[in-house]
Amino acid sequence: MSPSMRNGIKAIKPTIGLIPRTGIIPISSTLDTAGPMANHISDLAVLLSSMVSQDPSDPITMSHLQGETDYTTYLHTNHVKRIGLVHDSPFKISKDDKLIFKKVSTLLKTLNYDLVDIKVPSFKSINHIMKYEFKHDINRYLTQENLNITLKDIISYNHKHPRENLKYGQGILVEVENETSGLKNEKDYLDALDERKQTILQVDNIFKQNNIDVIYFINYTHLGPSCGYPTLTLPVGYQQNGMPKGIYLLAPHFKESHLIELGYQLESIINQTFDPLKNLFK
């Protein structure tokens, strides 16, 4: 999500299990997923439709496949009615964040969406999951690809070729190799999985109790990447430093259709209302 936002393009990180991950170099089997990136929501819909499938090599796609087969049918639908607004964040909220949140919220209201202020839990252990799964998952991947190397071998090779391979260092690789067993049995890891499970239950209840279709966050959120909720980033302007600025929308599991529908409507209206985009901050 972050690379797309920083480059001023659209992207959907879909529900974990919607798209097969076979062949993708892993970081975390709990968190990893592929997803489409494009300049237009309609292109996201086409790409997402072509990426959805079941894959026996990735069992989560066999047991959780509940998605659509043609997301382009949601470009002109009207299923999204109620949107939850999250005003706080575990990250620093900038002046730009507040301004754009106010403008987009006002726009949503003028479009007759029912808006409700909500609070959501903050999942704090995402790094524990990545740390303790990476060694196990990367070594399994290397074995499956018959490469006859391990994470330890990669670290050693990089150390011998620093000019080519260590421009950004490899501190994280070394930390994972030295501080994790690769067996995924550490207490911190198991506690993080339990926290994730409880967070998902809480967020699911927030969707149901408030009868909301989409959640709109004031700035970046870990909830999508960490708990498997589909998330859309949509560029809406530029920050005062010239960098692109996007918004983040989150939907219930396997409700990518809500993001396609709302994103498509916002895309066309925002492009008309905030033209040129930099005027958003004037």
Sorted by sequence, the CB contacts under 8 Å of residue 117 that are 6+ apart come out as 84, 85, 87
Decide: 250 and 257 in contact? Cβ < 8 Å. Answer: no
pLDDT band at 65 (very low <50, low <70, confident <90, very high): low
- Structural domains in the chain plus CATH codes: 2-122+205-281 (3.90.1300.10), 126-187 (no CATH)
- Rounded distance between C-alpha atoms, residue 140 and residue 40, angstroms: 36
Whether 67 has a pLDDT exceeding 80, the answer reads no
Phi, psi at 177, each rounded to 5°:
-65, -40
**Which residue, among 83, 11, 38, has the nearest Cα to 251 in the 3D structure?**
83
pLDDT of residue 238: 78
Residue type at 153 in one-letter notation: D
218-246 pLDDT, tens per residue? 998 889 989 999 999 999 887 777 778 88
Residues paired with 234 in a beta bridge: 247
Q: Which residue has the tokens 């990367």?
A: 138
89-134 pLDDT, tens per residue? 988 998 889 989 999 999 999 999 999 999 999 888 999 999 999 9
Total-model pTM: 0.91
196-207 pLDDT, tens per residue? 999 999 999 999
DSSP annotation of 94 reads P
Task: Quote the percentage of the chain above a pLDDT of 70.
Answer: 94
| Average pLDDT for 138-158 | 97
33-44 pLDDT, tens per residue? 999 999 999 999
Whether 73 has a pLDDT exceeding 90, the answer reads yes
